[in-house]
Homo-oligomer: A and B are copies of this chain.
Amino acid sequence: MGERRWAVAVHGGAGTEVPKNKADDDALRGGIEAALAAAAAILARPEVPSVYCGAPRHLAAAVAAVEILEANPLYNAGTGAVLNDAGKVENEASVMDGATLRIGAVTGLTTVVYPVRLALLIHLKASHKFIGFRSAERYADSFPDLIERRANETFITEKRRAAQQRAAKGAGPHGARDLVDVVGETVGAVVFDAMNGGMLACATSTGGVTNKMAGRIGDTPVVGAGSYASNGLCALSGTGMGEEFLRLAAASRICGMMEYGKRSLRDSMHHVVHDIFPADTGGFIGVDAEGEIVMDGNSPYMARGSRDSDGKSFVGLKM
C-alpha cells in the first residue's frame, strides 16, 4: 500500500432522531454512498470536468459530492430543504480551497437548484465572497448556462411542509430549538488530494432549521463557524445548531487548536465537540493534511461516510 492519493468524507446532517425503519435507513445510506462516488470519480482522473469552471480537483470533488446531496430530496439542502416561517425554502452554501484560503459563500437562495455551485462561482469569479438574498439571485442571473433555476415550490417536499406546520403550531413564530423535529441537518464534504503536496477543500450546503425566521443566516455560509480548509492543517464541514457554531467560531477553533496548540485533528475536534459544544449541538467531518479522516459529534444521529484511495470505506448513521 503506497501513499494515500486521495480521501473524501461527506455528511448528510446531524440530528436528535435516528431513522425509524429500514427503508429510510437504506435510502439515507444510499445518498451518502452516491455522494462519495461522485467525489471519488473526480479524484480518480487527472482532468476536472469543465462544468467546474476551472476549479482545482480537490475543490471540484467536494462540490460534486455536495451537489448529489442537494439533489436528493431526503437531505436538507437544495431540493428537500426545510421550510422557513414563511413556508419557503431559503438555502445557503459555502466552499473553501485550503490551498489559497479563498472562499465563496451565499445565503438566502430561493431559486438556485445547486446552491453550492453558486458558492463555487462566487469563489472563482466574484470580487466579493459572501453574497446574500436578492442580490445573490441577481448574481446567479449572470450565469444562465451554469446555474440551474426553479420556482421555490418545486424544492418543497410533503415531509418538510408537514414538519414546518407542526413547528409553527407548537413553537410560535420563530421555532424554539426543542420543537424542531431533527436538529441541524446540513450536507457537506471534505476532500484531501495528495497532488502538489496535499490539497484540502470543503463544501457545505443547507436549508437551515425547520420554521426558521425568514432571513436567518446560519453557520453554513460562515467559514470559520461551519467550515474551514487550510492546507497543512485540515478541511472541516459541520452540521448542527448553527447559532452555537457561529458564537463559538467552531471550525476556526479546531484549526486554531491544531495550528497554535499543535494538537491532532482528532484531539482538536474531540475537544470542541465534547468539551465546548452544549449537548446535542452536532458535529464535524474532517480530513487532515495526511488524508486521515475524523468524524465526531455529540448528537445521537449523524449521517456520514468516507472513502479513500486505499479502498477503505465507511457509512454510518448513529453516532
Query: Which residues on A are within 8 Å of B, measured CB to CB?
Result: 96, 101-103, 105, 107-108, 126-136, 138-139, 174-177, 212-218, 222-225, 228, 243, 246-249, 251-253, 255-257, 259-261, 263
Q: How many copies does the complex hold?
A: 2
A216/B131 contact (C-beta < 8 A), A103-B247, A246-B223, A256-B252 known? yes
Which of A129, A175, A243, A247 is the most central at the interface, judged by chain B CB atoms within 10 Å of its CB?
A: A247
Q: What would be 14 A-B contacts, judged by CB atoms less than 8 Å apart?
A: A96-B247, A105-B246, A127-B176, A128-B174, A128-B243, A129-B246, A130-B243, A134-B215, A222-B222, A224-B225, A255-B256, A256-B261, A257-B260, A260-B263
When the two chains form the complex, which single residue of B103, B133, B216, B224 contacts A134, counting CB atoms closer than 8 Å?
A: B133
Task: Let me know if A128 and B216 touch, CB within 8 A.
Answer: yes
When the two chains form the complex, which single residue of B128, B222, B249 contacts A213, counting CB atoms closer than 8 Å?
A: B128
Min CB gap A155→B, angstroms: 18
Cα–Cα, bound, A253→B257 (Å)? 10
Would you call the interface of chain A mostly helix, strand, loop, or mixed?
Answer: mixed
When the two chains form the complex, which single residue of B217, B218, B243, B256 contacts A107, counting CB atoms closer than 8 Å?
A: B217
Which of A101, A130, A218, A253 is the most central at the interface, judged by chain B CB atoms within 10 Å of its CB?
A: A130
Which of chain B's residues have a CB closer than 8 A to the CB of A176? 127
Task: Let me know if A101 and B133 touch, CB within 8 A.
Answer: no
Q: Which residue in chain B gives the minimum CB-CB distance to A100? A: B247
Task: Let me know if B130 and A218 touch, CB within 8 A.
Answer: yes
Q: Which residue in chain B gives the minimum CB-CB distance to A85? A: B135
Task: Let me know if B131 and A213 touch, CB within 8 A.
Answer: yes
Min CB gap A44→B, angstroms: 29
Task: Let me know if A127 and B248 touch, CB within 8 A.
Answer: no
Which of chain B's residues have a CB closer than 8 A to the CB of A257? 256, 260
A107/B126 contact (C-beta < 8 A), A222-B222, A222-B224, A257-B256 known? no
